[in-house]
């Protein structure tokens, strides 16, 4: 009955043997899913804010710092994925090492990460889709592509009265398109993701190669502008200097969210013990290199203080007279967000599946479609919730909650991998985290450091979410747990 009871490794191995999911994902298919989750709107938006307000040309250093910080967590994820190649991700890793309550809390926060992440992406997708239609002379009514709060603000800017009703139709519809693909099967989802990844990586490479011809190295001087202090949302923050580079790293970190989603696909990988660790690390390294190159190109094309904070990539090309590239970049951003949303929702349902298999959630969440072999009921439920929330909620209300769940999960995985080395040194580890105690400690420190910068309101909402989760655990999950039946 202990809340610290641990799921035996033998039980994980039994789960793997009776896995009903289709094992169709190869090493590069998993890597593609990782890239699909990571490269999205972040590279097309966060680069402008981070360079303009905080780092200047040294944004490239911010990406290096954020990438290294994520690498600590990814190396720990990789070891766990080789030891416990199941679909529960950090939740399953914690269940096999630290204990049930700890694992439940991780799973509860992964729900927050993926649900809020997919909702945020759906709203962002709507914004880019509307911009894309505008480039072709088609304009959506404001009340039909925004929530009521945002629509009211936009009408006020135009000097018009507030609408009585608003509904973000594009966000609503894209959620159901992605839901349909996920219900149809992992092979279909992976194929869709692969196509989108090819498109957006090609466009990112286009930005790097074409933009390189327009770089003026004078725009990189000084590479790290003189430090100063600014006030943003009532909070004092360091701008420029090395402090500004660190602050920018906390911002662009959120462009890396998604590599952990690879670990949720272990149940559908052909050779999960080797391929999942490879895909986690490979996708992160590939995206880090692309991010660094894009940041150098952008700050070289346009002086950092003239970068457009809302659409930095498109505006950099536009200001250099390459207006036709705006179409390609906007299309890539729209496609890129689609694949991010697909992988986020895929990860969400697999977390539910892992928790339901352990008895911590009702059987509803582990029911598989007889033909497609996908958790169709939970996928439709997740799609329904995300579509409604995305259609009615401002993007800034959900984005930071996604980040909090991610940071906690990353930190806990770094702790858990060190605990497992001590408690179970005899386990076969196809992949071992190098210098595990150093890497794990640095991973914990880095993620706690980023959590320090999150707004107070987000902390309050996060604590409320945590209290709800602990309540559900003691009222339902603790009693229904499979370990409670032994």
Of the ranges 316-330, 365-379, 465-479, which one carries the lowest mean pLDDT score?
Answer: 316-330
Could you identify the residue written with the tokens 């006030």?
231
Give me the pLDDT at residue 237, please: 64
Nearest to 437 by CA among 453, 425, 427: 425
Give me the pLDDT at residue 396, please: 60
- Treating both helix axes as pointing N-terminal to C-terminal, what angle do 325-357 and 41-50 enclose, rounded to 10 degrees? 110
Give me the pLDDT at residue 412, please: 85
pLDDT over 80 at 395, yes or no: no
Band of the pLDDT at 400, cuts 50, 70, 90?
Answer: low
pLDDT over 60 at 324, yes or no: yes
Give me the pLDDT at residue 47, please: 81
Distance (Å, whole) CA 229 – CA 244: 9
Give me the pLDDT at residue 253, please: 78
pLDDT over 90 at 177, yes or no: yes
Give me the pLDDT at residue 112, please: 82
CA trace torsion 190, 411, 433, 437 (10° rounding): 180
Beta-strand relationship, 228-232 and 235-239 = antiparallel
pLDDT over 70 at 19, yes or no: no
pLDDT over 70 at 53, yes or no: yes
pLDDT over 60 at 88, yes or no: yes
Percentage of the chain lying above the pLDDT 90 cut: 22
Give me the pLDDT at residue 235, please: 58
Distance (Å, whole) CA 85 – CA 13: 9
CATH number assigned to the domain covering 9-485: 1.20.1740.10
Q: What is the pTM for the complete model shown?
A: 0.80
Give me the pLDDT at residue 21, please: 66
| Averaged confidence pLDDT in the chain | 84
HEC secondary structure over 148-172: HHHHHHHHHHCCCCCCCCCCCHHHH
Nearest to 93 by CA among 260, 257, 269, 282: 260
Average pLDDT over residues 316-337: 84
Distance (Å, whole) CA 300 – CA 232: 26
pLDDT over 90 at 360, yes or no: yes
Give me the pLDDT at residue 486, please: 61
Distance (Å, whole) CA 261 – CA 284: 12
Give me the pLDDT at residue 296, please: 93
pLDDT over 60 at 476, yes or no: yes
Cβ contact 463:257 at 8 Å: no
- Treating both helix axes as pointing N-terminal to C-terminal, what angle do 186-212 and 325-357 enclose, rounded to 10 degrees? 140
**Residue 147: which region, alpha, beta or left (left: phi > 0; alpha: psi -120 to 50)?**
beta
pLDDT over 90 at 388, yes or no: yes
Distance (Å, whole) CA 291 – CA 207: 11
Q: Which two tokens stand for residue 370?
A: 């007889």
Give me the pLDDT at residue 209, please: 92
Q: Could you read off the pLDDT of 99-108 as tens digits, one per residue?
A: 899 899 888 8
Average pLDDT over residues 461-477: 92
Cβ contact 222:55 at 8 Å: no
Give me the pLDDT at residue 234, please: 59
Phi, psi of 424 (to 5 degrees): -130, 65
pLDDT over 70 at 233, yes or no: no
Band of the pLDDT at 260, cuts 50, 70, 90?
Answer: confident
pLDDT over 60 at 18, yes or no: yes
Q: Could you read off the pLDDT of 430-461 as tens digits, one per residue?
A: 889 999 999 999 999 988 888 876 767 778 88
Give me the pLDDT at residue 350, please: 84
């Amino acid at each position: 009955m202990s809340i610290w009871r641990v799921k035996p490794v033998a039980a994980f191995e039994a789960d793997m043997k009776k896995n009903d999911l289709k094992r169709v994902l190869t090493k590069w298919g998993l890597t593609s899913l990782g890239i699909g989750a990571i490269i999205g709107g972040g590279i097309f938006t966060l680069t402008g804010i981070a360079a303009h307000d905080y780092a200047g040309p040294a944004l490239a250093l911010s990406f290096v710092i954020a990438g290294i910080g994520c690498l600590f967590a990814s190396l720990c994820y990789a070891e766990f994925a080789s030891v416990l190649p199941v679909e529960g991700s950090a939740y399953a890793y914690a269940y096999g090492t630290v204990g049930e309550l700890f694992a439940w809390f991780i799973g509860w926060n992964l729900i927050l990460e993926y649900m809020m992440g997919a909702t945020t992406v759906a709203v962002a997708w709507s914004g880019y889709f509307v911009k894309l239609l505008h480039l072709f002379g088609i304009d959506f009514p404001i009340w039909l592509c925004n929530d009521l709060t945002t629509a009211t603000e936009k009408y006020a800017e135009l000097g018009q009265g507030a609408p009585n009703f608003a509904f973000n139709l594009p966000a609503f519809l894209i959620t159901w398109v992605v839901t349909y693909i996920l219900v149809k099967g992992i092979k279909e989802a992976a194929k869709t993701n692969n196509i989108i990844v090819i498109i957006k990586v090609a466009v990112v490479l286009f930005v790097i190669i074409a933009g390189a011809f327009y770089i003026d190295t004078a725009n990189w001087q000084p590479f790290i502008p003189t430090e100063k202090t600014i006030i943003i949302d009532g909070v004092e923050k360091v701008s420029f200097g090395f402090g500004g580079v660190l602050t920018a790293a906390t911002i662009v970190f959120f462009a890396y969210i998604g590599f952990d989603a690879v670990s949720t696909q272990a149940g559908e990988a052909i050779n999960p013990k080797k391929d999942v660790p490879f895909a986690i690390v490979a996708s992160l390294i590939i995206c880090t290199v692309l991010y660094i190159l894009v940041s150098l190109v952008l700050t070289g094309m346009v002086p950092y203080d003239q970068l457009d904070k809302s659409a930095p990539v498109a505006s950099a090309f536009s200001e250099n007279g390459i207006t036709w590239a705006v179409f390609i970049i906007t299309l890539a951003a729209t496609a890129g967000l689609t694949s991010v949303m697909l992988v986020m929702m895929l990860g969400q349902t697999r977390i539910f599946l892992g928790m339901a298999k352990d008895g911590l959630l009702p059987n509803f969440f582990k029911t598989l479609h007889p033909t497609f072999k996908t958790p169709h009921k939970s996928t439709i439920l997740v799609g329904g919730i995300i579509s409604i929330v995305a259609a009615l909620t401002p993007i800034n209300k959900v984005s930071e909650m996604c980040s909090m769940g991610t940071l906690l999960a990353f930190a806990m995985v770094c702790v858990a991998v060190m605990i497992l080395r001590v408690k179970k040194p005899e386990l076969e580890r196809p992949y071992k985290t190098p210098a595990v105690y150093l890497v794990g400690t640095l991973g914990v420190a880095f993620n706690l450091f980023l959590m320090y910068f999150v707004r107070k309101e987000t902390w309050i909402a996060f604590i409320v979410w945590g209290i709800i989760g602990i309540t559900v655990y003691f009222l339902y999950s603790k009693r229904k747990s499979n370990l409670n039946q032994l």
